């Protein structure tokens, strides 16, 4: 190199060979030489949308079963049924299999944030001649506490199907305070994210959490999203029944009994000191 060793402004110059740029097509050429074709756009999309598309379905179910069991182990391991596969069906409100149980209950009250979904539900109720249902549009944390208070004189069964992040704490605390809600079905599309709701439903009463706690009695996992990591889990909660009708806030009697004093021996607290 002509410049190498030349002096510029009193300083010698040095020249080094630049590192060669990596050939962006070298990897592709090596794959073609080995007979390996790179993944096309469809395969790339499948890896993102359905990451388990190449995994056998039985192995997918086993992974999701383990995921659900890890959540249930933190809730005292309720009865757990095997993972079920149920393909998604659009418009469940329009199916007679879904609407027929509504004819056997006295009243149904629904809360939904989407106005379009509420309108569809009302149309489905009219088409199926259901007069015992009512739907409210709004945020659950704003509507549920008032609805629970209004229905305080009736025995209720709550069905909670929140978004992936879980229920707002106001809803959980309102349901927990409502002693007329004896059974609760929680539909979770992300059991790990809803763990905080499960804990608030089952924890001991405190200044923040009022009412008799619930306990999980049954859980069923349903695979609505095959070839993905998502899984729906339904957990049935029931109120804890205390023996002898004792309430949740009443202290439990100690199971340790004081042994009887020997004959002729007066307990210390019963002794009277003689007057001086």
Q: Read off the pLDDT band of 189 (50, 70, 90).
A: confident
Residue 186's Cβ-count burial label (10 Å; 0-12, 13-18, 19+) is buried
Residues in binding site: 103, 112, 161
Please give the residue that has the higher pLDDT: either 93 or 162: 162
Q: Cα–Cα distances in Å, from 26 out to 4, 20, 30, 32?
A: 33, 13, 6, 10
Q: Read off the pLDDT band of 237 (50, 70, 90).
A: very high
Percent of the chain with pLDDT over 70: 72
Please identify which of the residues 68, 189, 202, 231 carries the catalytic annotation. Answer: 189
Ranking 36-45, 92-101, 108-117, 217-226 by mean pLDDT, the lowest is: 92-101
Residues in binding site for S-adenosyl-L-methionine: 103, 112, 161
Please give the residue that has the higher pLDDT: either 196 or 54: 196
Judge contact between 215 and 248, C-beta under 8 A.
no
Tokens at 161, concatenated:
């199907």
Active site residue 86: no
Q: Read off the pLDDT band of 87 (50, 70, 90).
A: very low
C-alpha–C-alpha distance, residues 176 and 192, integer Å: 20
Does residue 224 register a pLDDT over 60?
A: yes
**What pLDDT does residue 37 have?**
59
Judge contact between 196 and 166, C-beta under 8 A.
yes
Q: Read off the pLDDT band of 175 (50, 70, 90).
A: very high
* Residue ranges of domains in the chain: 63-84+139-243
Tokens at 11, concatenated:
């300083």
Ranking 41-55, 67-81, 125-139, 178-192 by mean pLDDT, the lowest is: 67-81
Ranking 1-5, 22-26, 155-159 by mean pLDDT, the lowest is: 1-5
Mean pLDDT of the chain: 76
**What pLDDT does residue 99 have?**
58
Neighbours of 218 (CB within 10 A): 14
Q: Cα–Cα distances in Å, from 232 out to 16, 51, 181, 217?
A: 61, 17, 23, 17
Ranking 45-59, 62-76, 229-243, 259-273 by mean pLDDT, the lowest is: 259-273
């Amino acid at each position: 190199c002509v410049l190498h060793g030349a002096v510029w402004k009193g300083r010698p110059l040095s020249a080094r060979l630049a590192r060669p740029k990596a050939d962006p097509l070298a990897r592709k050429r090596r794959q073609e030489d080995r007979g390996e074709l790179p993944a096309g756009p469809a395969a790339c999309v499948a890896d993102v949308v359905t990451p388990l598309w190449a995994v056998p379905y039985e192995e997918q179910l086993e992974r999701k079963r383990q995921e659900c069991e890890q959540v249930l182990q933190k809730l005292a391991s309720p009865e757990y049924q095997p993972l079920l596969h149920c393909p998604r069906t659009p418009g469940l409100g329009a199916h007679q299999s879904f609407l027929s149980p509504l004819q056997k209950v006295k009243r149904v009250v629904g809360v939904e944030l989407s106005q379009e979904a509420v309108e569809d539900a009302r149309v489905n109720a009219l088409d199926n001649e259901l007069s015992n249902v009512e739907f409210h549009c709004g945020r659950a944390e704003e509507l549920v506490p008032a609805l629970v208070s209004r229905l305080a004189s009736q025995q209720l069964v709550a069905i909670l199907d929140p978004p992936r992040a879980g229920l707002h704490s106001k809803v959980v605390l309102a349901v927990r305070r409502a002693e007329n809600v004896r059974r609760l079905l929680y539909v979770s599309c992300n059991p790990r994210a809803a763990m905080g709701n499960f804990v608030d439903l089952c924890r001991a009463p405190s200044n923040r959490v009022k009412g008799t706690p619930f306990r999980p009695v049954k859980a069923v996992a349903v695979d609505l999203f095959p070839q993905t990591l998502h899984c729906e889990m339904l957990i049935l909660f029931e109120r804890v029944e205390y023996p002898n009708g004792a309430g949740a806030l009443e202290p439990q009697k100690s199971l340790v009994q004081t042994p009887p004093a020997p004959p002729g021996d007066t307990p210390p607290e019963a002794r009277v000191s003689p007057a001086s």
